[in-house]
Chains A and B, each alone.
Chain A
Amino acid sequence: MDIERQLERALERKPPSPEFAARVLAAAQMQSRRRGVWSNWRQWIAAPLAASLLLLALGIEQRKERQEGEAAKAQLLQALALTSGKLEKIQELVREVQR
């Protein structure tokens, strides 16, 4: 009998203490604040990192294009110089034939 009463008392419905709601809200706010700090930290790192990577990729692409452009320019000038030299040679040959 004694055990039954003890069980009834233990299982009977009791209203929560007046501070319970406040304690739950405080705990939730604390957790949210921690999450917010973590989330902001990641954003602060990720945004400049992404921007740096983008700038790096653009820089590499520009450098590659510049190298290719300079190489093409050198080839173009070499082609024209060679053509010029050979046209001068033709001019000499024409003069010789005309003499």
Chain B
Amino acid sequence: MICNWIRAALLSSALLVPVFGQSVHLESLDRLKAKASGNVTISLDASLLQLASRFLSDDDADQRDIRKLVAGLKRISVRNFQFDRDGDYSIGDVDAIRNQLRDPGWSKLVEVRNRRDDNADVYLRQDGKNVSGAVVIVAEPRELTVVSFEGLIDMDGIAKLAGKFGIPDSVRIKVERRGK
């Protein structure tokens, strides 16, 4: 009986992999907490996202839009670390995440490198016409932020939220073009 359950679970997870690809793991960054002067760690799986969604207000237009955006998501993970000094984290810490995004399913939408060592990347994963993942990496001298969205991402919802959540128009335009 247990074997059947395990077999069924393995089979279903194997079937899900081609649809949603492999998860991006941010746990390797957690050791930076020891050096950071402040940090934010958020991990919301599908059940927590659905639970959160039920508590969003119907009276608030923004929250209604967020509910639509969240509907297809399987996971949101956030790691944000603030440091007192430059160089408290290494580029190797960031590369550990970037290396996971070398998979052919992922494409880099935005890459910014400047003289002040502000680095930013936006990656998208597409399955056919669907966007099934997005990762935002912003590495500043004293702050490192990585955000990962997994699941079906409603690009109309993202476009709608662009103004409200500061999603740059340039990013939105590229996303829409890729989606076509």
Contact = CB atoms under 8 A, between A and B. Distances in A.
B111 to A, nearest CB: 10
Given A90-B138, A93-B114, A85 B55 contact: no
A67 B124 CA distance: 33
B54 A76 contact: no
A81 B145 CA distance: 12
Interface of A, helix, strand, loop or mixed by DSSP:
helix
B165 A87 contact: yes
A85 to B, nearest CB: 7
A90 B136 contact: yes
A72 B168 CA distance: 26
Interface residues of A, number: 28
Contact of B145 (A70, A86, A94): A86
A15 B112 CA distance: 116
B131 interface: no
B114 A78 contact: no
Contacts of B122: 90
Interface in A50-99: 65-66, 68-70, 72-73, 75-91, 93-94, 96-97
Question: Quick one: which of B70, B120, B166 has the most chain A CB within 10 A?
Answer: B166
A51 B164 CA distance: 48
Interface stretch (B17-25, B26-34, B45-53, B92-100): B45-53
Contacts of B136: 83, 86-87, 90
Contact of B112 (A68, A88, A94): A94
B130 to A, nearest CB: 20
A84 B40 contact: no
A82 B166 contact: no
Nearest to A77: B66
B63 to A, nearest CB: 9
A82 B136 CA distance: 11
B118 A80 contact: no
Interface of B: 40, 42, 44, 48-49, 51-56, 66, 70, 76, 78, 80, 110, 112, 114, 118, 120, 122, 136, 138, 140, 145, 147, 161, 164-171
Interface of A: 65-66, 68-70, 72-73, 75-91, 93-94, 96-97
5 contacts: A69-B51, A72-B49, A83-B165, A86-B120, A90-B112
